[in-house]
Amino acid sequence: MDEGSTMHDLNDTFEITAHLRESFIEKGHCVVRGLASAEEIAHYKPAIDEATMQRRWDKRPLQERDTYGKAFIQSAAICQHNETTQAFIYARRFARVAAQLMGCQGVRLYHDQSLYKEPGGGFTPWHQDQVYWPLQTNQTVTMWMPLVDVPNEIGGMVFADGTSHEGNLGEEVIGDASQS
């Protein structure tokens, strides 16, 4: 491995605090500050950008897409794009943090996906990720890793505390009905 690769290796350990885990259990979400440095993100971002644009599901112009298509650009299996995206997606650091949050020995990656918001695109309505997964367990974690600064003014992530304990709150998916 060359020196540049070693600097951006995401396979080291990252310990979360007991307070962070307790907050995750109570609220169903948390922010893990410092999980990836700005330098690490800068290293991986160009490859993730390229993979996202080449592998996106809907390549039509924004104005031609339906409500769901306007919410964000979606690309799946970006781990298959190249070694750089694979290293980011399969980073042991991220997997270990997910395992620590759930209180288990290890995790399995079910789905890797990049979601990019476009200028002028639609908003993402309230939803539960679990609705989209064919799993019979709530022992899951979604990791959102911003690749750019997301100030409050442009609309970052917002979570409804504790709803993960409520089970499935409905089958409504992102679409015209969820916009009203």
pLDDT in tens, the chain (180 residues): 444 455 689 999 999 999 999 999 999 999 999 999 999 999 999 999 999 999 999 999 999 998 888 889 999 999 999 999 999 999 999 999 999 999 999 999 999 999 999 888 887 777 777 777 788 887 889 999 999 998 888 778 888 888 777 777 766 666 666 555
Kindly give, in sequence order, each residue whose CB lies less than 8 Å from that of residue 117, ignoring residues fewer than 6 positions away: 72, 73, 124
- Directed axis angle between helix 92-102 and helix 18-27, to 10°? 70
The structure's pTM equals 0.86
pLDDT of residue 173: 62
Q: In Å, how far are 34, 109, 110 from 39, measured between CA atoms?
A: 11, 25, 27
